[in-house]
């Protein structure tokens, strides 16, 4: 048939019956478009309309539905979906392998006797009693922080416990007490700040905080607050996507009235401003701040923004009976603020409030079906950050979990697709080339990292507690067989952590120079991509450093200060080497990023992580003075000290951290000078790598001493031990409440030429 006489092919019979009238329309008339065909018409690829129900469904007398989802429509979309599914399969396989290797506590159920069958109450009671299993625990230590004489509990996974082991070892090896003055910090001590106010015990009345009647200091001007909020969007927002940017901006604008010089109060705005002040303080030259800030007690970035923090907490107290999503958001930001201000116990307690407030709102459940998409995803992100902080804080302090993180796999993850990332006109979006990532992708992988770490942690410490209980010892260091068996449990679980690293998208991995691999301990320099958006660069650094931190925290307990000549522990020694490798990698990357960019400027949390890595390295070179990794570890400590010196101008305790590390390095050099290679491994009671050491005069480590010193919770010389811990804790928990809650302490001076005065 010639083109001139060609006609439109007839439609299928199923469509011709339903569109008979429309088929008579002239050929040139354009087809009417619909926004979305119903399920029945779309499957059969026939014409639909915008009516509900559509004409075709009315004619067949069936329900007209639009429940079908959009599948991949292009090859790149299909490939990305395949990659996601493959990554999920690998992740589930790793979780299954760890689950199979996890030891199970089996509860013996006593058979019910015939006499018990006559009493249902007695039967149930007997069953419950027999099924109740109390897991034995590896006990930690009780030490007082730098700001109080009240002791707090810290578990074996905490840096506090590891530092206490270093103190036990030094006390045993040096056989001399530590001088008090040498352990007093300049920037952070028990008397960090003594107020100059007439009333040294003055505290601002909470009603003044809430009502804003504190005319002496007041709040910042609007232009200053908006500048701080800009820092928040550039910094914390890409790490903690738990607020809707557009809604927050609208909320903030609504707080200002033309007739007022101050805005209405909002706990969410206040805590975000407190975080921004704490973060942004590092960008201010010391000579540009208010005169009061030249005092170290005032000019400390860790507690900058405390006035806003206090007002936020006062406002939150009114919402305890009827919390909202904003309440949980405020708690999460408060946790970050307190963590960077070194108030670790307050941080842990506020997290418990966030958990209970979230459960009150039902955040631990799937959002209701009628919840709008944007709100649904926001609720998920908020709760997943509650889980992240649960894993992070509990393992950091060595305390029990409040939530069952093993149930996380049953919860749907927050979406990180482009539609969600750009919802409500978010200023951050996606980054390519290749399979795109969005600014929300980091949050998903970061949460998964810490939850994975927590699962490994729980398996390991359950095994440690069980082994300690079965062998009637107080720590795993008293029996080399126990130490090795626990190390093997960790060895079976560590592939899960590596699987997480393999599943991170290439765009979120920090490339290495000289062919180095991301998330490796090959000590290669990182490649900072100046062309990538700032949020991508920061997320890459964060993931890399977080990975090394989680790895060293899991493996650090296997750094031992005692060598059992009768038993070889290869797995434990391998993990000691892995721990120092990750600590060195963290230090090298931190040093490079700090001195080659400003990506980590103002992030006090990374200082505390650097402190943890530095103390891990110190412990290693004390325990293994003759080891292939020791020279590299010693060099890394020099870089750690340089990082501390870099933080010191706006973070006084950093200078003390550098001084403490130098002090410990000198002690390590002293002990290493007395080590004999021929006796380094076979010394029967001296710590690993140390033969009996001549120290002061002819004193030596006694060869017939017991091993009680290996357990920090059992110390004969409590005075010496407490002195050492007071010295070390001055870095981990150095601020005191006099500075934090001092009413005479001015609102933080910002780099706008504003002094202590408020809005005039």
Q: What is the DSSP string of 6-52?
A: --PPPPPHHHHHHSTTGGGS-TTSPPPP-S---HHHHHHT----SSS
Token readout for 299 is 């000019």
pLDDT given for residue 27 in this prediction = 46
DSSP 88-113: HHHHHHHHHHHHHHS---PPP-PPPP
DSSP 72-87: --SHHHHHHHHHHHHH
pLDDT given for residue 250 in this prediction = 94
Q: Percent of the chain having pLDDT more than 90?
A: 39
Token readout for 157 is 């996974």
Give the three-class secondary structure for 757: coil
pLDDT given for residue 672 in this prediction = 78
Highest mean pLDDT among 314-318, 553-557, 717-721: 553-557
- The backbone torsions φ and ψ at residue 15, rounded to the nearest 5 degrees and listed phi first, read -90, -30
pLDDT given for residue 292 in this prediction = 43
Give the three-class secondary structure for 278: helix
Question: For the chain, how many helices (H) and strands (E)?
Answer: 26, 4
Q: Classify residue 100 as left (phi > 0), alpha (psi -120 to 50) or beta.
A: alpha
Contact residues for 168 (Cβ-Cβ < 8 A; gap 6+):
561, 709, 710, 712, 715, 721
Domain ranges of the chain: 34-63, 206-409, 430-734
Which helix or strand (DSSP H or E) is residue 500 part of? helix 480-503
Alpha carbon distance 690, 623 (integer Å): 8
Q: List, for residues 490-513, the tens digit of each pLDDT value.
A: 999 999 999 999 999 999 999 999
User: What is the rounded average pLDDT for all residues in the chain?
Assistant: 76
Taking the CA atoms of residue 320, residue 382, residue 452 and residue 99 in that order, the dihedral angle to the nearest 10 degrees is: 70
- Tell me, what DSSP letter sits at residue 298? T
Alpha carbon distance 556, 579 (integer Å): 5
- Tell me, what DSSP letter sits at residue 284? S
Which helix or strand (DSSP H or E) is residue 361 part of? none
Neighbours of 63 (CB within 10 A): 9
CB 242 within 8 A of CB 385: yes
Alpha carbon distance 643, 704 (integer Å): 42
Neighbours of 426 (CB within 10 A): 18
Alpha carbon distance 446, 441 (integer Å): 9
Contact residues for 722 (Cβ-Cβ < 8 A; gap 6+):
143, 144
Give the three-class secondary structure for 438: strand
Alpha carbon distance 327, 309 (integer Å): 14
Packed helices 159-174 and 604-623: angle between N→C axes, nearest 10 degrees: 40
Higher pLDDT, 576 or 33: 576
β-pairing, 151-154 with 141-144?
Answer: antiparallel
**Helix extents (H) in 370-476:** 373-397, 418-421, 441-470
- The backbone torsions φ and ψ at residue 409, rounded to the nearest 5 degrees and listed phi first, read -60, -20
Instruction: With CA atoms as reference, report the closest residue to 736 among 338, 347, 188.
Output: 188
pLDDT above 90: residue 57: no
Is the peptide bond preceding residue 433 cis, with omega within 30 degrees of 0?
A: yes
Neighbours of 401 (CB within 10 A): 15
Q: List, for residues 454-492, the tens digit of each pLDDT value.
A: 999 999 999 999 999 999 998 999 899 999 999 999 999
Beta-bridge partner residues of 484: none
- 180: exposed, middle or buried (C-beta count within 10 Å: 0-12, 13-18, 19+)? exposed
pLDDT above 50: residue 600: yes
Highest mean pLDDT among 167-171, 543-547, 666-670, 738-742: 543-547
- 115: exposed, middle or buried (C-beta count within 10 Å: 0-12, 13-18, 19+)? exposed
pLDDT above 70: residue 602: yes
Alpha carbon distance 492, 101 (integer Å): 7
Q: List, for residues 2-51, the tens digit of each pLDDT value.
A: 444 444 444 444 444 444 444 444 444 555 556 677 887 877 778 888 78
pLDDT given for residue 389 in this prediction = 96
Q: List, for residues 687-713, the tens digit of each pLDDT value.
A: 333 332 332 222 333 333 344 445 565
Instruction: With CA atoms as reference, report the closest residue to 607 among 548, 651, 552.
Output: 651
Length of the chain measured in residues:
760
Which helix or strand (DSSP H or E) is residue 153 part of? strand 151-154
Alpha carbon distance 105, 318 (integer Å): 44
Mean pLDDT of 372-397: 94
**Helix extents (H) in 556-651:** 570-596, 604-623, 630-647
Q: What is the pTM of this model?
A: 0.74
Instruction: With CA atoms as reference, report the closest residue to 751 among 288, 298, 227.
Output: 288
**Helix extents (H) in 628-651:** 630-647
Per-residue H/E/C for 178-221 = CCCHHHCCCCCCCCCCCCCCCCCCCCCCHHHHHHCCCCCCCCCC
Neighbours of 55 (CB within 10 A): 17
CB 650 within 8 A of CB 281: yes
Radius of gyration (Cα) for the chain, nearest Å? Answer: 31
Neighbours of 69 (CB within 10 A): 4
């Amino acid at each position: 048939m010639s083109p001139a006489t060609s006609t439109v092919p007839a439609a299928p019979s199923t469509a011709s019956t339903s569109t008979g009238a429309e088929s008579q329309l002239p050929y040139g008339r354009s087809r009417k478009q619909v926004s979305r065909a119903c399920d029945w018409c779309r499957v059969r690829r026939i014409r639909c309309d915008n009516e509900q129900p559509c004409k075709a469904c009315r004619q067949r007398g069936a329900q007209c539905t639009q429940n079908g989802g959009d599948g991949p429509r292009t090859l790149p979309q299909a490939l990305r979906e395949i990659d996601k599914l493959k990554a999920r399969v690998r992740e589930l396989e790793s979780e299954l392998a760890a689950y199979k290797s996890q030891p199970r506590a089996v509860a013996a159920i006593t058979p019910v006797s015939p006499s018990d069958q006559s009493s249902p109450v007695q039967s149930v009671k007997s069953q419950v009693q027999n099924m109740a299993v109390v897991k034995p625990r590896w006990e930690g230590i009780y030490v007082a922080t730098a700001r109080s004489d009240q002791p707090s509990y810290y578990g074996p996974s905490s840096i506090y416990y590891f530092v206490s082991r270093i103190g036990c070892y030094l006390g045993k090896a040096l056989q001399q007490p530590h001088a008090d003055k040498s352990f007093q910090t300049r920037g952070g001590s028990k008397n960090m700040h003594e107020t100059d106010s007439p009333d040294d015990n003055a505290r601002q009345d909470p009603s003044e905080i809430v009502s804003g009647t504190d005319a002496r200091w007041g709040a910042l001007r609007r232009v200053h607050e908006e500048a701080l909020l800009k820092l928040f969007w550039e910094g914390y927002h890409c790490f903690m996507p738990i607020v809707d940017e557009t809604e927050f901006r609208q909320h903030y604008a609504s707080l200002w009235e033309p007739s007022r010089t101050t805005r209405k109060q909002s706990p969410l705005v206040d805590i975000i401003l407190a975080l921004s002040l704490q973060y942004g303080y590092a960008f201010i030259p010391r000579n540009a701040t208010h005169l009061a800030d030249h005092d170290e007690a005032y000019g400390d970035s860790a507690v900058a923004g405390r006035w806003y923090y206090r007002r936020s907490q006062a406002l939150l107290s009114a919402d305890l009976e009827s919390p909202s999503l904003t309440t949980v958001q405020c708690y999460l930001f408060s946790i970050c603020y307190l963590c960077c201000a070194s108030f670790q116990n307050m941080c842990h307690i506020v997290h418990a409030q966030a958990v209970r407030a979230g459960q009150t709102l039902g955040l631990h459940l799937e959002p209701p079906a009628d919840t709008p998409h944007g709100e649904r995803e926001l609720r998920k992100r908020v709760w997943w950050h509650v889980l992240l902080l649960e894993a992070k804080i509990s393992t950091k302090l060595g305390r029990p979990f409040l939530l069952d993180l093993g149930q996380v796999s049953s919860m749907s993850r927050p979406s990180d697709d482009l539609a969600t990332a750009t919802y409500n006109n978010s200023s951050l979006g996606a980054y390519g080339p290749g399979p795109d990532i969005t600014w929300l992708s980091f949050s998903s992988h970061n949460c998964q990292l810490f939850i994975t770490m927590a699962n490994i942690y729980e398996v390991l410490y359950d095994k440690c507690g069980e082994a300690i209980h079965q062998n009637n010892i107080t720590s795993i260091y008293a029996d080399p067989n126990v130490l090795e068996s626990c190390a093997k449990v960790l060895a079976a679980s560590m592939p899960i952590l590596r699987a997480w690293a393999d599943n991170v998208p290439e765009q979120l991995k920090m490339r290495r120079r000289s062919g180095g691999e991301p998330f490796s301990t090959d000590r290669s320099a990182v490649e900072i991509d100046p062309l990538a958006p700032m949020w991508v660069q920061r997320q890459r650094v964060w993931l890399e450093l977080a990975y090394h931190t989680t790895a060293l925290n899991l493996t650090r307990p296997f750094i031992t200060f005692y060598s059992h000549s009768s038993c070889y522990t290869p797995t434990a020694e391998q993990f000691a080497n892995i721990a120092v490798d990750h600590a060195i990698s963290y230090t090298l990357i931190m040093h490079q990023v700090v001195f080659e960019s400003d990506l980590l400027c103002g992030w006090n949390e990374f200082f505390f992580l650097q402190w943890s890595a530095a103390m891990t390295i110190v412990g290693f070179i004390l325990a293994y003075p003759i080891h292939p990794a020791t020279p590299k570890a010693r060099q890394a400590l020099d870089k750690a000290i340089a990082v501390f010196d870099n933080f010191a101008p706006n973070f006084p305790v950093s200078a003390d951290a550098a001084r403490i590390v130098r002090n410990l390095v000198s002690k390590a050099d002293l002990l290493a000078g007395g080590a004999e290679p021929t006796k380094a491994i076979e010394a029967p009671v001296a710590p690993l790598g140390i033969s009996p050491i001549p120290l002061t005069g002819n004193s030596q480590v006694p060869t017939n001493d017991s091993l009680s010193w290996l357990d920090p919770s059992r110390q004969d010389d409590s005075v010496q031990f407490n002195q050492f811990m007071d010295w070390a804790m001055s870095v981990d928990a150095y601020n005191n409440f006099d500075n934090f809650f001092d009413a005479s302490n001015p609102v933080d001076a910002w780099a706008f030429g504003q002094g202590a005065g408020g809005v005039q």
